[in-house]
Chain A
Amino acid sequence: MPETIPEDSVGLVEPQRLRFEEPLELASGRTLPEYELVFETYGELNADASNAVLVCHALSGDQHAAGWNSMEDRKPGWWNNLIGPGKAVDTNRFFVVCPNNLGGCKGSTGPTSTNPETGKPYGPDFPIVTVGDWVRSQERLMRRLGIARWAAVIGGSLGGMQVMQWAIDFPDSLHSAAVIAAAPRLTAQNIGFNEVARQAILSDPEFHEGRYHEHGVVPRRGLMLARMLGHITYLSDDAMRAKFGRELREGRIHFGFDVEFQVESYLRYQGKSFVDRFDANTYLLMTKALDYFDPAGDYGDDLAEAMRRARARFLVVSFTSDWRFSPARSEEIVRALLAAGRDVSYARVEAHHGHDAFLFPIPYYVNVFRGFMNRIPLEG
């Protein structure tokens, strides 16, 4: 909770909401007859609408990227380290838009929303959405906001995947693209982790085939386990060792299965607090969007061929201790962009934080990101 709002912060922000009544055809073949997107904005749109930046969120992210929603908030938005006045994404210069993705659980239409056909929450009936579907929904948001072209589309992890999709699917609708801690598609190992997370949720007796709200329960244990597993993959071995080591909560072992090591306590806390703020059906959908992401798939499995469509200038950033989407994965993206002759810069940032590094204000990362954003020409 901030006692006063820091000067380099966007301050108190309120989410906004727009309704889209034009049906959205999805990659699955299904159609969303209508939907709402919730989003936050920071900074001011300039006269010719040339300074708008789209921020795409990751698996468990949402529209609250920067600032505080109330003075009672414990923490600011998830990318507050990077977005704000004078920060890498400078809100004195840019008008920043961050929507909650379709299928999310923070206000945009998703499994917890009411299905107009039944009058009940969608629950498991909410269609599986892909990264391409999200990008098309965001493109409509762009037009509704009176923006013809983003100055930049930026995002980390699953957010970075949306950035790639944007550059390929709407090449003329963005000037610059920052793809951070991402991958061109998941590996079998990545999908394996997602599958364990999904199984944790699906096998929870309180899941009720996704209709847990109708039963007045939530699959707490499953969602908690999914988050605990995910959390391990977001941190590096070194970061966990530095943070917890083998430290015991009560200084000695008890020869039992209660929490003994600090790391167990931390993971349980992370898992439990996640259950209070996230929906299990949304988690299932998001992991599927990750698994299905494969922009090269539409271009003969040739990512360079896909990137030949792109017109944006790119910044690709990886972090050395990220083993979920390692530097080698970012380098695949860079190779494809180079083969396609695109304008690309690549920074491989030394960081011990693991995959989560993209959320931290690591000086080299911040400087190179700021340098990239500052080169975007704005007209009026």
Chain B
Amino acid sequence: MRADLEIISDWIRPRSRILDLGCGDGTLLAHLRGQRECSGYGLEIDEDNVTRCVEAGLSVVQSDLDEGLAKFFPSATACFDYAVMTQTLQAIREPQKLIDEMLTIAREGIVTFPNMAYWKNRIQLGVMGRMPVTRSLPNHWYNTPNIHLCTVGDFERLCDDLDIEILQRTVVDAHHRTTVLGSAFPNVFGEVALYRLQRKQ
């Protein structure tokens, strides 16, 4: 399993109720079900992924995250322990709204995204003058699904603006390993950022 999913699953308490936004082929949900006795639902837009989730015996609802969570959970408050969204935030039309919805529907949110301020991205953009193409940002500007790229610094400012408390943060490299430099200077040496959040009490 992807190492970032490994880290996330360590963050999640056993027997939790999970909503996985953009659950892909259901790897994380299946892992959490098997290793941590968690239950819950995946939301996924791609039909091949929906099929794989169903084949794996997971509960998956085909839906477009840009339509928000209220379409399928109109009056749900804190009915999940965690709302998880891995590597999807940057492709969402209104990320700040979705994060807010996540923290309404679940007690805690877990979000991961590629850090635009990673030093290799800075070099490609700042020195070479090109939009970065890296392992964690593999697409060119013209065919990328990413429309809202942000940095570790940007994200934390948004959390502050939305009265969201950061419970845990880890940054990793493209192989999803934590590094000493990344821990010291996450906005420069973190290629992918992982956050555990809750609304300020």
Contact = CB atoms under 8 A, between A and B. Distances in A.
**Is chain B found bound to chain A in the same assembly?**
yes
Interface of A: 313, 315, 331, 334-335, 338-339, 341, 343-350, 364, 367-368, 371-372, 374-375
A375 B58 CA distance: 10
Interface residues of B, number: 22
Contacts of A335: 71-74
22 contacts: A315-B54, A334-B61, A334-B72, A335-B73, A339-B75, A344-B59, A345-B58, A346-B60, A347-B50, A347-B51, A347-B54, A349-B47, A350-B47, A367-B51, A368-B51, A368-B54, A371-B51, A371-B52, A372-B54, A375-B54, A375-B55, A375-B57
B192 interface: no
B133 interface: no
A208 B8 CA distance: 71
Contact of B61 (A338, A367, A375): A338
A347 B55 contact: no
Interface in B17-61: 41, 47, 50-55, 57-61
B47 A364 contact: yes
B54 A339 contact: no
A345 B41 CA distance: 8
Contact of A348 (B52, B62, B75): B62
B146 to A, nearest CB: 24
A199 B63 CA distance: 40
Contacts of A374: 55
B55 A346 contact: no
Which of A345, A347, A348, A371 is packed against the most chain B CB atoms within 10 Å?
A: A345
Nearest to B53: A345
B55 A345 contact: no
A364 B51 contact: yes
B15 to A, nearest CB: 14
Given A338-B73, A344-B59, 6 more contacts: A334-B61, A345-B53, A345-B61, A350-B47, A367-B51, A368-B51
Which of A313, A343, A368, A374 is packed against the most chain B CB atoms within 10 Å?
A: A368
